[in-house]
Amino acid sequence: MSTKPVLQIALPVPLPGCYDYLYSGSPAPAQGTRVQVPFGRRTLVGVVHGQTQSDYPKLKAVSAVLDDAPVFTAELYALCERAARYYHHPLGEVLNYALPALLRQGGDAQPSQEKRWRLTERGTHVSDEQVSRAPRQHQALQVLREHPKGLSSAMLNALDVASPALNALRDKGWAEHFVVENGPGISKEVLAEPPLAANGEQQQAIHAIQDAEGFTPFLLDGVTGSGKTEVYLQAMAPQLAAGKQVLVLVPEIGLTPQTVQRFRQRFAVPVTTLHSGLTDRERLDNWLAARDGKARIIIGTRSAIFTPLANPGLIIVDEAHDSSLKQQDGFRYHARDLATWRAQTLNIPVVLGSATPALETLQLARDQRFHWLKLSRRATEQQRPGIEILDATLAPPNQPLLPLSLQAIKQCVDNGNQALVFINRRGYAPMILCQDCGWQAECKRCDSFLTWHRAENNLRCHHCDSQQRVPSRCPSCGSSAIHEAGSGTEKLTELLEQSLPVPVIRIDRDATRRKGELDSKLKTIRQGDPAVLVGTQMLAKGHHFPKLALVVILDMDAGFLSADFRGPEQAAQLLLQVAGRSGREGQGRVLLQTRHPDHHLLQLAASGDYPALASALLEERRMAALPPFGHLALFRCEAMTLGKAMAFLQELAQQPVADGVNVLGPVPAPMEKRAGRYRAQLLLQASQRAPLHQTLERLLDAARQSPQSRQCRWHVDVDPIDM
Ligand code: ADP
Ligand code: ZN
Ligand code: ZN
């Protein structure tokens, strides 16, 4: 039997490995090129992984090669391969994920063309008399004279210039419809505005990053308001001047127009963004602009780590502790770790910036594997306000705010300032219950209570989004003594509106659902008139509100008391971030209401001494061999019954494991039932990565072959951040 040339194709299917397809053309498309292939009854877009020979008789052929040249740069392809291996996720799915949607669907890897109308050389010499008898053409001519760089048809339409007139000018050779080259910035100067005068600590940090040669990882550890962004801006200037690109990752919530504006204002080079708010077409154009080197600063959320770069010089990860950098479904990767790998491969510096670094990053700095740059003061010379702890058990019944907090808010707005009340819970009240029999409104599909949304007058589950009517009588005993307990943003807003003479601005997912609503609210806040803001963590990060002089924090206890070992770390990060909104340009105050005023970790966090808190937490982690001192991987499984989920994981737990790997569980998940399914998990722990990954490979094999797997949905999460 004769062998034939075949291509190994990585396909977006949930199985590991590549698929062989016949391809006899020459030369064969290179690695990273997209092809179309038949797969079962479907046609899929896959990516060429390699070439080989095969004598297998039943192979199908590649139906089309979609690219003249690979869409993946070799470096980006290698990053995807490494990520697929590390996260034990199928390569085809990783490659598919890394592509903009239009390329996934088989679209052309070509930038969209912008066409404009402009006058030709001859057209510029035409006199008004020559068109005096054609008023429409006359008008078109006048408009085009005023816009020598040309105008799109849409713009011309808006100016009342219609196509017949333009066509007439074209037919006379006076105007032309041309394709705009979105070329790189013409300006030789990269700076559009002068930098701020950096303070001593900022200067040290800037120089360290500027002087770095080759792969150099930095932790920029700077308290909120210390001017980390200024450090990024100044550190990247020489890279841009040298013609290089800078990739900036920001958290989902951090990609505000305000952030992007700071980069656009400072530099005269093209800045492009990559995030979920773009249309598919915009996303592809921006992606191509980065790949072709036209975009020089690329700012994006986590998936932007997969942007191809023509000439990369520096990678920056802002708010590097933020959990939105970890993808929590499908391909579960951490963009912070990928950023470091990528910088290593590219042999360029990478800066992870944070006011409250992740303990993993902090430990790398302590071990001197990262250069540790510290900014200990606010750049604006404003003192960072301390956090005052208030005992929330002293609040009157059913009152979320202590009298002291309310008084402070009143005083704050009386002084002409703004106050922020932070509560990480939207809706009116998190619970509805019967006073006669104790019945509580629970989600039928989840182990959770329903939140009362009063404006919509319904009960909603914040885990599965299911909704119910609010019962007028208790479904259990028929009593009409149904009451709410606890409070969310909606109720707080109402309360504050009743007791204060100033506007109360609510910012949470419900109050900002409509397009533009968030931006307009933020704008109102920045205008600075006295107001009270009520917000969830949407308000915690990145925002700079000059007039904000008081922050009142409610309900942070759960995090500090959480069974999840990351609970206190994440709670402290959020607490300090929220507190950091206060007094950025004047005196500030922060009040923390807690039912556990004596809690040790909470006190440490409130003291503002994140390093001390981190040391305490790291010590606990060391004793328990938890990250960063041990490595974890989690199998999660859900099924129609808990028994099925547990049995499947039990089968995995019985597999032989490599030396040094501990198997813990299976146990029911913290929320055992969610969206109608029962969930369980199995944890693998090891002090070395190699045996952990070896064991994972074996368990994954067993899982794929297990007949029980067909009754479950399961996945593995390497370095899980919630468990
Ligand atoms: P961070 O990102 O560390 O929270 P920012 O970069 O947002 O801090 O800076 C906080 C404020 O301090 C901003 O208004 C910024 O313009 C200002 N700032 C930063 N560096 C300086 C400096 N060297 N001199 C004066 N103001 C500065
Ligand atoms: Zn009842
Ligand atoms: Zn639910």
Entry pTM: 0.89
Two tokens, residue 495: 């309360």
pLDDT band at 186 (very low <50, low <70, confident <90, very high): very low
Is there an atom of ligand 1 within 6 Å of 577 CB? no
Is there an atom of ligand 1 within 6 Å of 382 CB? no
**Residues within 5 Å of ion ligand 2 by Cβ?**
434, 436-437, 439, 474, 476-477, 479
User: Does residue 373 contact residue 198 with C-beta atoms inside 8 Å?
Assistant: no
What is the per-residue pLDDT for 594?
95
Average pLDDT over residues 579-603: 89
ipTM exceeds 0.95: yes
User: What is the 3-state composition of the chain as percent helix, strand, coil, each rounded to the nearest 5?
Assistant: 35, 25, 40
Average pLDDT over residues 533-547: 85
Rounded to whole angstroms, the Cα distance separating 396 from 596 reads: 17
Cα–Cα distance list, 681 to 63, 562, 566, 677, 712 (Å): 42, 18, 17, 13, 12
Rounded to whole angstroms, the Cα distance separating 464 from 443 reads: 9
3-state secondary structure of 469: strand
Is there an atom of ligand 1 within 6 Å of 224 CB? yes
Is there an atom of ligand 1 within 6 Å of 512 CB? no
Instruction: Give the range among 95-99, 218-222, 397-401, 645-649 with minimum mean pLDDT.
Output: 397-401
- Kindly give the distance from the C-alpha atom of residue 323 to the centroid of ligand 1, in angstroms, as a whole number: 24
Q: Where are the alpha helices (DSSP H) in 464-609?
A: 489-499, 517-527, 557-561, 567-579, 600-606
Is there an atom of ligand 1 within 6 Å of 222 CB? yes
Average pLDDT over residues 137-142: 90
Residue nearest to atom 27 of ligand 1 (CA): 379
Burial class of residue 494 in the structure, from the number of CB atoms within 10 Å of its CB (0-12 exposed, 13-18 middle, 19+ buried): middle
Rounded to whole angstroms, the Cα distance separating 568 from 614 reads: 10
Residue carrying the six token digits 């808010």: 409
Ligand 1 atom showing the smallest separation from residue 229 Cα: 6
What is the per-residue pLDDT for 255?
65
Q: Where are the alpha helices (DSSP H) in 426-542?
A: 489-499, 517-527
Residue nearest to atom 20 of ligand 1 (CA): 227
- Kindly give the distance from the C-alpha atom of residue 476 to the centroid of ligand 2, in angstroms, as a whole number: 5
- Residue 88 clears pLDDT 60, i.e. is over it: yes
Q: Give the closest residue to 227 by CA, choosing from 351, 371, 375, 374.
A: 375
Please choose from 204, 229, 317, 544 the residue to mutate so as to test ligand 1's pocket, defined by most ligand atoms within 8 A of CB. 229
Is there an atom of ligand 1 within 6 Å of 229 CB? yes
Of 217 and 513, the structure prediction assigns the larger pLDDT to 217
Q: Give the closest residue to 510 by CA, choosing from 585, 454, 581.
A: 454
Residue carrying the six token digits 């800078």: 246
Residue nearest to atom 23 of ligand 1 (CA): 198
What is the per-residue pLDDT for 188?
59
Is there an atom of ligand 1 within 6 Å of 256 CB? no
- Residue 602 clears pLDDT 70, i.e. is over it: yes
Is there an atom of ligand 1 within 6 Å of 226 CB? yes
pLDDT band at 252 (very low <50, low <70, confident <90, very high): confident
- Kindly give the distance from the C-alpha atom of residue 230 to the centroid of ligand 1, in angstroms, as a whole number: 6
User: Does residue 354 contact residue 577 with C-beta atoms inside 8 Å?
Assistant: no
Residue nearest to atom 21 of ligand 1 (CA): 379
Instruction: Give the range among 79-83, 96-100, 540-544, 645-649 with minimum mean pLDDT.
Output: 540-544
Q: Which residues contact 119 (CB under 8 A, 6 or more apart)?
A: 141, 144, 145, 148, 174, 175, 176
Two tokens, residue 380: 């604006």
Ligand 1 atom showing the smallest separation from residue 355 Cα: 3
Range 323-342 burial, b when 16+ CB lie within 10 A, else e: bbbbbeeebbbbbbbbbbbb
**447 phi, psi to nearest 5 deg:** -85, 70
pLDDT in tens, 16-66: 899 999 998 888 999 999 999 999 999 999 999 999 999 888 899 999 999
Burial class of residue 553 in the structure, from the number of CB atoms within 10 Å of its CB (0-12 exposed, 13-18 middle, 19+ buried): buried
Mean pLDDT score of the chain: 92
Residue nearest to atom 15 of ligand 1 (CA): 227
User: Does residue 254 contact residue 319 with C-beta atoms inside 8 Å?
Assistant: yes
